Amino acid sequence: MSEKLDAVKEKCAVALKKAKALSSLFLGPQDVLAVDIGSYAVKIILLKQEGGNITLKAWGYLPLNLKPEASPDERKMQTINSLRAFMIEKGVKIKEAATALSGNSVIVRYVKFPRLTKAELSATLMTEAEPFIPFDINEVQLAFHILNEIIEEGQKKMETVLVAAKKDLVASRLEILQGVGLNPTIIDVDSFALENVFEKIRDAKMEAGATLYLNMGHLVTNLSILESGVTRVVRDIFISGNTLTKSITKALGVDFAKAEELKKAHGIIVDAAEKEKALREGLREELGVSQAVTAVIKDLVGEVHRSVDFYLSQGPERSIGRIVLMGGSARLKNLSKHLSTELKVPVGVLDPLAIFKELPPALPLELAPAFGVAVGLALRRNKDWL
Ligand SMILES: Nc1ncnc2c1ncn2[C@@H]1O[C@H](COP(=O)(O)OP(=O)(O)OP(=O)(O)O)[C@@H](O)[C@H]1O
Ligand SMILES: [Mg+2]
């Protein structure tokens, strides 16, 4: 009996160790409803994992159709209403939910702390973390994950991932989920959720070099650099789909809705012959969109370069082998081609549906890139508990 108890304790300890979540993992059923609450659309995934076979039990793509000037309360109400309608329509009975945070109210830092036990660090976390957190320490919820122990300048230290999220952001997420009768048991970080997808579909024969992830959503682009499955850089960049659309509104003098439409229709002109044709035929919209979008991508490329330079400066023999795009904005026409030319690395769009042996027929392929975070969240519980 006590052996059994020890085994359970051990399993819990392993699960907790693996967790990079802000909230704790609680014992409970394996199924968890993954709810990625974006500023543009809510993405929902419910998986079933049986005998190594993963199947899709339910999914939802709920565009919020909010005006850019919508207040936080309007945003919250619209999100709750959309989610509630989805749960009723699909007859979703599950109560446990996983969600993820990103943006300027969340900070991830890789910090070297003096060697402490987990309990000691928990007890002194606020004091130890304060110098690394650019927010009032009393206004954030903190979590940490010890990566490994090292010796630096003769002293034993531990490399730790520190996550701080503003309490009001956490509270607002909890309010949304609880508002539709869900019990949020996992609160993760977008970039960490994406790691799960990568881990699941990583090609063992992949060539050398780290993988740089760009999850381009609407307000935020999550950037992370993973080396042999270990995250080395995580940051959020505030150049994303919304910035592209805004740039089009200015360049072409159209409203936001029209600019969205034009962005999705045209994207970037990369081919010289196509550009010449557009100029010859005076295709004002195509040229205007391409120019407006390219100017924004130039700023994004600058930010990517900064992160890559930082990563390369951290150790010898480091290199970026590839860039993987995700998020709704990864669908921008010719974005991968353009980024590949600008950054001189192969760029591809990640399909999170590759976790399935058979493609779920119901989920439209063109929506797939937007589901990275939701699929990663849905896998998390499965991964941690198996
Ligand atoms: N075909 C397309 N071409 C270009 N952009 C597209 C296309 N389809 C969707 N988008 C853009 O994708 C963005 C939404 O992506 P996503 O669903 O990943 O964002 P989000 O998760 O809601 O936002 P965030 O996480 O930044 O708050 C929007 O800016 C939208 O205009
Ligand atoms: Mg998102």
pTM: 0.87
Question: Lowest-confidence range among 8-17, 54-63, 127-136, 332-341?
Answer: 8-17
SS3 category, 233: strand
**Domains of the chain, first to last:** 2-238+347-385 (3.30.420.380)
Q: What is the pLDDT of residue 115?
A: 87
Q: Which amino acid is at 141?
A: Q
| Cβ 66 under 6 angstroms from ligand 1 | no
Find the 139 Cα to ligand 2 centroid distance in Å: 24
Pairing between strand 230-237 and 41-50?
unpaired
Proximal ligand: closest to the CA of 42: 1
Confidence of residue 334 (pLDDT cuts 50, 70, 90): very high
| Cβ 38 under 6 angstroms from ligand 1 | yes
* 291-312: average pLDDT: 97
Chain mean pLDDT for the chain: 87
Question: Lowest-confidence range among 109-118, 161-170, 328-337?
Answer: 109-118
Proximal ligand: closest to the CA of 219: 1
* 43-47: average pLDDT: 95
Helix/strand/coil percent split, the chain, to 5 = 45, 25, 25
| Cβ 41 under 6 angstroms from ligand 1 | yes
| Cβ 16 under 6 angstroms from ligand 1 | no
Q: Whose CA is nearest to atom 17 of ligand 1?
A: 328
Rg (CA), the chain: 22
CA atoms within 13 A on the CB side of 265: 12
User: With 80 as the cut, is the pLDDT of residue 383 above it?
Assistant: no
Question: Which pair of tokens denotes residue 358?
Answer: 């058979």
- Percent of the chain beyond pLDDT 70? 90
pLDDT digits (tens, 9 = 90+) for 50-109: 877 889 999 999 999 998 889 999 999 999 999 999 999 999 989 999 999 988 899 888
| Cβ 113 under 6 angstroms from ligand 1 | no
| Cβ 236 under 6 angstroms from ligand 1 | no
Q: What is the pLDDT of residue 22?
A: 47
Confidence of residue 205 (pLDDT cuts 50, 70, 90): low
Find the 242 Cα to ligand 1 centroid distance in Å: 8
| Cβ 352 under 6 angstroms from ligand 1 | no
pLDDT digits (tens, 9 = 90+) for 18-33: 444 444 433 344 679 9
Q: Whose CA is nearest to atom 5 of ligand 1?
A: 329
Q: What is the pLDDT of residue 384?
A: 38
Tell me which of 169, 329, 371 to substitute to probe ligand 1's pocket, judged by most ligand atoms within 8 Å of the beta carbon: 329
SS3 category, 213: strand
pLDDT digits (tens, 9 = 90+) for 144-180: 888 888 888 888 888 888 899 999 999 999 999 999 9
Q: How many of the other CB atoms lie within 10 Å of CB of 339? A: 23
Proximal ligand: closest to the CA of 329: 1
SS3 category, 215: strand
Alpha-helix residue ranges (DSSP H) falling in the chain? 2-18, 72-90, 118-129, 167-179, 190-201, 241-252, 256-266, 272-280, 284-313, 335-343, 372-385
Confidence of residue 128 (pLDDT cuts 50, 70, 90): confident
Q: Whose CA is nearest to atom 20 of ligand 1?
A: 38
Atom of ligand 1 nearest to the CA of 190: 25
pLDDT digits (tens, 9 = 90+) for 222-264: 999 998 877 889 999 999 999 999 999 999 999 999 999 999 9
Question: Which pair of tokens denotes residue 313?
Answer: 């400066």
Looking up tokens 């769009």 gives 349
* 309-327: average pLDDT: 93
User: With 70 as the cut, is the pLDDT of residue 330 above it?
Assistant: yes
- Report the alpha-carbon distance of residue 232 to residue 215 in Å, rounded: 16
Per-residue three-class SS string for 102-122: CCCCEEEEEEEEECCCHHHHH
| Cβ 266 under 6 angstroms from ligand 1 | no
Q: What is the pLDDT of residue 244?
A: 98
Q: For helices 372-385 and 190-201, give the axis angle rounded to 10 degrees.
A: 70
According to DSSP, residue 339 is labeled H
User: With 50 as the cut, is the pLDDT of residue 15 above it?
Assistant: no
| Cβ 332 under 6 angstroms from ligand 1 | yes
| Cβ 220 under 6 angstroms from ligand 1 | yes
Q: Whose CA is nearest to atom 21 of ligand 1?
A: 38
Confidence of residue 204 (pLDDT cuts 50, 70, 90): low
| Cβ 349 under 6 angstroms from ligand 1 | no
- Report the alpha-carbon distance of residue 256 to residue 244 in Å, rounded: 10
Question: Which pair of tokens denotes residue 184?
Answer: 């949020």
| Cβ 173 under 6 angstroms from ligand 1 | no
Confidence of residue 48 (pLDDT cuts 50, 70, 90): confident
- Report the alpha-carbon distance of residue 71 to residue 176 in Å, rounded: 15
Confidence of residue 320 (pLDDT cuts 50, 70, 90): very high
| Cβ 241 under 6 angstroms from ligand 1 | yes
Find the 131 Cα to ligand 2 centroid distance in Å: 29
Q: What is the pLDDT of residue 7?
A: 47
Confidence of residue 381 (pLDDT cuts 50, 70, 90): low
Q: Whose CA is nearest to atom 4 of ligand 1?
A: 332
Q: What is the pLDDT of residue 237?
A: 96
Q: What is the pLDDT of residue 207?
A: 76
Confidence of residue 43 (pLDDT cuts 50, 70, 90): very high
Question: Which pair of tokens denotes residue 115?
Answer: 């060697």
